[in-house]
C-alpha cells in the first residue's frame, strides 16, 4: 500500500526555528495553518492570558527568599500594595498601580534610612503583568545579584527588600524616595508574549521620586531561562549601578556599554575608523 501524501505544505523557512521561538515557517494546510500549529498558538495565547491574571503567591515568594542562599538584609521583606485593590482594577487603572496604598506608605515611613546615612539602593519586587515571571525568576535573580555584590570591594548599603502586589514600574520611584535610597531597582513581571509568558524586567532609577518619566530609567529586559540569563543580567545591572553612582544619573543620560565590554574581553575594541 502506498503512503498517503501529507496534506501539510512545509515552509522552507522552518529551518530557522532552531534559532528563535518566533512563529515562522509554520507551513499550511490548504489556505490555513496546520492543526498542530494552530493548537500550539492557542496554548501559547492561553498561557499569556493566564500569566496576566495569575496572582502572586507572596507567602511562597517570601519562603523562597528566606530559604535561598542569598545574604538578604536581616529585616524581613516589606510587604506592600498599590492602590489597585484587585487584579481587574489593576488592569483597568494603570495609574493606581503606580501609587502605594496609605498603609504601605506608613510602613515605608517607619523604615526610612537616616538623612546622614541614606541607603545606597532599594530593591523592589513587583508582580507587574506576569506574576509567573516573578514566581519563577525573582529569587534566582536576587541570589545572583547579592552574591555578585558580596564579591565586590565596595559595600553597598541596601534598604529592606520590598515586595509589591498590583504594582507598576513607577511605584518603585515612590518606594525608593520613601526609604531614602539613592537609587531604586525594581524587578517586575513584563507584559507576556506568546513565546515569553515568564519574562522578568529590571528597571534602575537614580534619585527616585514620584512623577519621574521613563526617560529617567534604565531597563534590562527578558530575564528568564530561555532569554537573558541571571548571570548576564546581574553583570549588566551592576555596571549600571556603578555608573549611576559615579555619574549621579540614570536613564537616557546613562549608556549601557556592557555589550562593548563583553566584546572587549574577546579582543581589541578600538574604533576601526580611526585605525591606519
CATH number for the domain that contains residue 113: 3.40.50.11240
**Cα 79 to Cα 81: distance, rounded to the nearest angstrom:** 7
Residue 217 lies in a domain: yes
Q: Grid coordinates 581589541 are at which residue?
A: 268
Residue 4 lies in a domain: no
Residue 168 lies in a domain: yes
pLDDT score at 2: 57
Checking phi first, is residue 261 left (phi over 0); if not, alpha (psi -120 to 50) or beta? alpha
How many Å from the N-terminal Cα to the C-terminal Cα in the chain? Answer: 71
Residue 154 lies in a domain: yes
**Cα 4 to Cα 72: distance, rounded to the nearest angstrom:** 62
Share of the chain above pLDDT 90, in %: 60
pLDDT score at 9: 73
Q: How many domains does the chain have?
A: 1
pLDDT score at 99: 97
Q: Which of 160-164, 169-173, 236-240, 255-259 has the lowest mean pLDDT?
A: 255-259
Q: Which residues span the domain enclosing 144?
A: 56-258
Q: Which of 61-65, 66-70, 233-237, 241-245 has the lowest mean pLDDT?
A: 66-70
Residue 244 pLDDT > 90, yes or no? yes
pLDDT score at 209: 95
Residue 190 lies in a domain: yes
Query: Which pLDDT band holds residue 47 (cuts at 50, 70, 90)?
Result: confident
Residue 38 lies in a domain: no
How confident is the model over 179-204, as pLDDT tens digits?
999 999 999 999 998 888 999 999 99
**Cα 115 to Cα 212: distance, rounded to the nearest angstrom:** 22
pLDDT score at 33: 82
Residue 22 lies in a domain: no
On average, the pLDDT of the chain sits at 87
Query: Which pLDDT band holds residue 263 (cuts at 50, 70, 90)?
Result: very low
Residue 264 lies in a domain: no
Amino acid at each position: 500500500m502506498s503512503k498517503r501524501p501529507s496534506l501539510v505544505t512545509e515552509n522552507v523557512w522552518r529551518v530557522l526555528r532552531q534559532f528563535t521561538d518566533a512563529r515562522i515557517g509554520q507551513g499550511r494546510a490548504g489556505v490555513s495553518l496546520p492543526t498542530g500549529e494552530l493548537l500550539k498558538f492557542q496554548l501559547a495565547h492561553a498561557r499569556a492570558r493566564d500569566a496576566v491574571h495569575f496572582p502572586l503567591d507572596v507567602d511562597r515568594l517570601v519562603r523562597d527568599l528566606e530559604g535561598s542562599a542569598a545574604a538578604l538584609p536581616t529585616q524581613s521583606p516589606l510587604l506592600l500594595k498599590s492602590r489597585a485593590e484587585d487584579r481587574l482594577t489593576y488592569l483597568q487603572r494603570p495609574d493606581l498601580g503606580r501609587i502605594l496604598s496609605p498603609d504601605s506608605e506608613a510602613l515605608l515611613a517607619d523604615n526610612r534610612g537616616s538623612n546622614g546615612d541614606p541607603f545606597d539602593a532599594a530593591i523592589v519586587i513587583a508582580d507587574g503583568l506576569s506574576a509567573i515571571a516573578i514566581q519563577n525568576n525573582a529569587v534566582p535573580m536576587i541570589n545572583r545579584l547579592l552574591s555578585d555584590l558580596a564579591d565586590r570591594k565596595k559595600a553597598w548599603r541596601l534598604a529592606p527588600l520590598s515586595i509589591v502586589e498590583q504594582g507598576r514600574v513607577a511605584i518603585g520611584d515612590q518606594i525608593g524616595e520613601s526609604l531614602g535610597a539613592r537609587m531604586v531597582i525594581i524587578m517586575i513581571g513584563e507584559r507576556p508574549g506568546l513565546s515569553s509568558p515568564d519574562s522578568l524586567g529590571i528597571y534602575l532609577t537614580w534619585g527616585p521620586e514620584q512623577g519621574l518619566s521613563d526617560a529617567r530609567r534604565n531597563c534590562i529586559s527578558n530575564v528568564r531561562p530561555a532569554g537573558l540569563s541571571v548571570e548576564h543580567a546581574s553583570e549588566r545591572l551592576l555596571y549600571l549601578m556603578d555608573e549611576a553612582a559615579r555619574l549621579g544619573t540614570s536613564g537616557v543620560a546613562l549608556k549601557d556599554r556592557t555589550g562593548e565590554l563583553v566584546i572587549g574581553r574577546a579582543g581589541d575594541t578600538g574604533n576601526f575608523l580611526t585605525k591606519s
